[in-house]
Amino acid sequence: DVKVTQSSRYLVKRTGEKVFLECVQDMDHENMFWYRQDPGLGLRLIYFSYDVKMKEKGDIPEGYSVSREKKERFSLILESASTNQTSMYLCASSLPQTRSYGYTFGSGTRLTVV
């Protein structure tokens, strides 16, 4: 069964910590995405990557960075965590032919910053 795996389901971090959220896919997908999901706001795109070492900003990149050193792995980095980054983080991947297949999502990481 093909899948996208996020390393943690729940994470609690302190304000100011550097936080790494990891995502791995086993489908050989070119595209990978990081979203955050908040009540009333839906899904908002943070960053995406269309190839190894390539990245582009999404709608809300401030306070985040990403790394894609290998095709199967896409990491989201919170350089200095703040309480307003408490959220559900969703990773997704897709083939270049998004219109035919859509995205495959991971199960999400619920991050709490205290």
Partner 1 sequence: GNSVTQMEGPVTLSEEAFLTINCTYTATGYPSLFWYVQYPGEGLQLLLKATKADDKGSNKGFEATYRKETTSFHLEKGSVQVSDSAVYFCAPGGSGGSNYKLTFGKGTLLTVNP
Residues lying near partner 1 in the complex (CB under 8 A) are found at 4, 6, 31, 40-43, 45, 48, 50, 90, 92, 94, 96-100, 102-108
Q: How far is the CB of 77 from partner 1 (least distance, A)?
A: 20
Is-contact 105 43, C-beta < 8 A? Answer: no
Nearer to partner 1, 17 or 41 (CB): 41
Q: How far is the CB of 102 from partner 1 (least distance, A)?
A: 5
Nearer to partner 1, 54 or 80 (CB): 54
Nearer to partner 1, 71 or 103 (CB): 103
Nearer to partner 1, 13 or 103 (CB): 103
Q: How far is the CB of 80 from partner 1 (least distance, A)?
A: 26
Residue 74 CB contacts under 8 Å (≥ 6 apart), including other chains: 23, 25, 32, 33, 34, 49, 66, 67, 68, 91, 93
Q: How far is the CB of 20 from partner 1 (least distance, A)?
A: 19
